[in-house]
Amino acid sequence: SSSILPSPPCAGCGSKVGSTALSEALRRVQQDFPALPRDAVLVGLDSPDDAAVVTVPPGQVMVHTVDYFTALIDDPFIFAQICLKHCLSDLYAMGATPYTVLATVQVPYAAPAKQSEMLYQILAGTHKGLLASGTPLVGGHTVVGPQLALGFACNGVADPTQLLRKGGMRPGDALILTQPLGTGTLFAADMQGKAKGRWIEEAIAHILTPNQAAAEIFRAHGATACTDVTGFGLAGHLLEMLRASGVTATVYLDALPVLAGAAETLAAGIVSTLQPQNLQAAAFIDPAGTSHPLYPLLFDPQTAGGLLAAVPATTVQACLTDLQQHGNTAAALVGEITTTDRAYPLTLKRE
């Protein structure tokens, strides 16, 4: 007997989530999270128009960024908060204030009712994550595909004279990192069933911590440069700052804040699949520190990582105290900016 094989899922606009599933998810989330009044949004998510329309505050500039990645945990509600924190961090690192957000969602192939439920969980997590900054979600796009994935186009506003850039660091500045490292190796271990549940639980607690307060504290303490530490790892993002500033730096390996379990998974040789590409940055690092057990952590890709900033040495202790008292409990002094008369842009120091 012959059997009829199901048609393969369509691509193009045939891959969109159906209107019934989408409308039901939106109805539920708008019921649970009433829209905050925002005079700047002329046309938003509650309108049937083709695009959002917002006004631009006079005297300010727009700051735009986008990120997108596949799910690293099974809970779509928590995953949405992680992804949103990751995407908003670029705005905070630039000294901008979030203004509007657009979402791009891919839900797995499933019956419409299941797609609608997953969309609701994603949108609910997104709205929860946006409450702290009062930023409206003004639109987005939804498709179906082989796995859950999510991204946000985040739009911010800023005073053009108060932007934080990667360049601007000066010899003598201190380097502060606000969040522990190790999400790459920990979640790689989790995928292999080799991570303890409490390690992942603690990691999620850290990566859900917004970077909003840290950015404000850095500006208040005269930060000369800032970036968020994400996919290229601490070394990759710091090297970008060093090139932009025309300086070198020393990193204190023993002072690096580390997520619980990350040292153990690194010692077991468990690293992210992006780690080998990130290791190319080693060509710009003094090889004297390569034997240190935390050396691989420099190249560990971070999801929803913290901020790395340079602040004047005279303000470092006050800045650290402020950070630790406002949610960044693991914030640490991790290095210093040095002059350019060195063989390598980045030198490593151990106790």
Measured distance CA(305)–CA(116) in Å, rounded: 30
pLDDT value of position 4: 67
Contact between 327 and 163 (Cβ < 8 Å): no
State which residues of the chain have pLDDT below 70: 1-6, 36-37
pLDDT value of position 45: 85
pTM of the model: 0.93
Question: In this structure, what token pair is assigned to residue 249?
Answer: 């730096």
Q: Topology of domain 14-158, per CATH?
A: 60s Ribosomal Protein L30; Chain: A; (3.30.1330)
pLDDT value of position 1: 46
State the helix-helix crossing angle for 197-207 and 183-191, rounded to 10 degrees. 140
- What number of residues does the chain have? 351
Question: E strand or H helix at 112, and its extent?
Answer: helix 112-130
Tell me which of 13, 83, 226, 319 is the catalytic residue: 13
* Whole-angstrom Cα Rg for the chain: 22
pLDDT value of position 256: 98
> Which residues 6+ apart lie within 8 Å of 56 measured at CB?
62, 157
Contact between 104 and 119 (Cβ < 8 Å): no
Measured distance CA(83)–CA(104) in Å, rounded: 11
Q: Is 13 in the active site?
A: yes
The CATH number of the structural domain formed by 174-349 is 3.90.650.10
Distances in Å between the Cα of 6 and the Cα atoms of 3, 144, 196 are: 9, 16, 40
Measured distance CA(277)–CA(280) in Å, rounded: 6
To 5 degrees, how large is the angle CA 223–CA 225–CA 227?
A: 115
Q: Is 27 helix (H, G, I), strand (E, B) or coil?
A: helix
Give the pLDDT confidence of 92-111 residue by residue, as tens digits. Answer: 999 999 999 999 999 999 99
Closest CA to 330 of 172, 209, 190: 209
Domain boundaries, the chain: 14-158, 174-349
